[in-house]
Structure 1
Amino acid sequence: MAKTATKWTLSEEERKKLLKVLTYEKVRGKPIYYRDYKKVLKGELPPEAVMGSSGLQAYLIMLLIKFLLSKLDEEKFILLSNELGFLYGKGSWRNLDIAVFEKEKVKPYLMQDKLIPVPPKVVIEIDTKADLSRYGSFEDYVHEKTQDLLDAGVEEVVWIFTKTKKVMVAERGKKWIVQNWDEDFEVLAGIKVNLKDLMEEVS
């Protein structure tokens, strides 16, 4: 890969390899790239710059993982994170920020270097790193991903939006709800989360 005064010059093979690295998700065979992936292809940004989380996103994920681990029955459930790859159909996989699985169902896949084909019971997403140029709006992407996950067997999908400080809760067979950060939402039976309280406890 050579660099001129204004841009990178990529061979076709190098471009394909880089696009593979920059693929955030794949839906029905079509890739969804990381946001600002074109800047990486032009040499304006390194891949890490578009693939990394913001401080707030990482902080919220840490708080939620810590809280959930203190509440979950470890005999029945296991929590996975770090943009876990969930394979839910031919040519379709999604990255998950936080996923709660039934331990016995996911156990056979935990030591394999592959995407996990078992649907989690609960998925929690915080914003997105996806390039949204193929969508009409951010909401279109959120709704598509949520419906895909529910159709694949996920029982509950929670979205946390840091800019608007809103939470969307979607459960299979129920009305989707959008609420404020200071309102409780339930993750599995009896485990209630309040983002405002969670953040104030450690501030």
Structure 2
Amino acid sequence: MATTTQTIPQSLIYEEFGGRVYYRKGYRKVLLGLKTEEEIVGSSFLQGLMIQALVHFLKNLLPKKQFWVPTNEVGLHLRKNVNFSGDILICEKSKSPHPWTDTYTSLPPKFIIEVDVKIDAKAENEEEGGTEADYILQKSQELLTFGVEGIVWILTKSRQILVIRTHKNVEVYAWSESVPLFEDYTFCLQQILEDEEILPST
């Protein structure tokens, strides 16, 4: 099996930072011929519905004249060889690039919401491997240094929500709890999913 970045297609790379390249979850099966690239690039149906429901909620919650809420793995260019993707960005219009740009943005959004981890945390070099928790913390620290005020991680398997807004603290919430974003803006994922009939009402 191919084990170097030169022999692994660029399309299987999800992000790169900290001197490491992070490949899309499932890329090893593509290299073995067990799956196609198309099978691992997309989100699950649940992830897609969840992101759609959150974007709809946020667009109604936040003042339209102040914020954009782009989605679809929006590209962020932090610096040379450090590029990220975000599921949902909350961007202040006054601090965002012109909307008709066709490149990654190098300006930090106010908040980022991620639904699950989409990379294979295990490095090609076993000695450099890590865990999904390592990836969450390292990516969040990079984004905070970049200027993002906070990162929300929604984990579907454990039904937990992590909010990271400083280099020292991680807030943990259940789906049923109200999660603070910034100012007085909050969201309750359980309620959003019930309202959209993605989850049955309790």
| Aligned residue type for 1:193 | F
For residues 22 and 117 of structure 2, what CA distance do their matches in structure 1 show?
11
Aligned-partner Cα distance in 2 for 1:125–1:161: 9
Q: Provide structure 2 residue ranges, at least 5 long, that are not aligned to the other structure.
A: 124-128, 198-202
Question: For residues 177 and 103 of structure 2, what CA distance do their matches in structure 1 show?
Answer: 37
My pick for the range that moved more, 89-98 or 187-196, is 187-196
Post-superposition shift, 1:42? 2.5
Provide the secondary structure at the position in 2 that maps to 1:101: strand
Inter-partner Cα distance in structure 2 for 1:175 and 1:30: 24
**Match among 116, 119, 123 for residue 108 of structure 2:** 119
Query: What's the counterpart of residue 45 of structure 2?
Result: 55
CA RMSD of superposed structures (Å): 2.1
Q: TM-score, normalised by structure 2?
A: 0.87
Report the identity percentage.
32
Tell me the TM-score normalised to structure 1 length.
Answer: 0.87
For residue 158 of structure 2, what is the aligned residue in structure 1?
A: 164
Q: Deviations over 1:19-62 (max 9, x none)?
A: 21111001145321101212212222111111111111111101
Q: Provide the C-alpha distance between the structure 2 equivalents of 1:16 and 1:40, rounded to a whole number of angstroms.
A: 16
Contact preservation (8 Å) 2:75, 2:86 = yes
User: Is 1:29–1:90's contact at 8 Å kept on the other side of the alignment?
Assistant: no
Aligned partner of 1:155 among 149, 154, 157: 149
Structural mapping, 1:82-93, within 5 Å: 82-93=72-83
Structure 2 counterparts to residues 1-203 of structure 1, below 5 A: 16=6, 19-108=9-98, 110-134=99-123, 135-172=129-166, 175-203=169-197
Deviation at 1:17, TM superposition (A): 8.0
Counterparts of 2:168 and 2:139, CA distance in 1: 17
* One-letter identity of the residue aligned with 1:132: A
Residue 112 (structure 1) shift: 1.9
Distance (Å, rounded) in 1 between the aligned partners of 2:142 and 2:167? 14
Distance 1:183 1:190 in 2: 15
Alpha-carbon separation, structure 2, partners of 1:144 and 1:95: 14
Distance 1:29 1:133 in 2: 14
1:18 Cα deviation from its structure 2 partner: 5.6
Spell out structure 1 runs of 4+ moving beyond 2 A.
15-18, 172-175
Secondary structure of 2:183's partner?
A: coil
Tell whether the 8 Å contact from 2:121 to 2:135 is kept in structure 1 after alignment: yes
Specify the alignment match of 2:126 in structure 1. Answer: none
Cα drift, residue 136 of structure 1: 2.6
Shift of 1:153: 0.4
Q: Which runs of 5+ in 1 are unaligned?
A: 1-6
Structure 1 residue 174, shift from structure 2 partner: 6.5
Residue by residue, what CA displacement relative to the aligned partner does 1:114-154 show, whole Å, maximum 9, x if unpaired?
11101110000010210110343211111111111111100
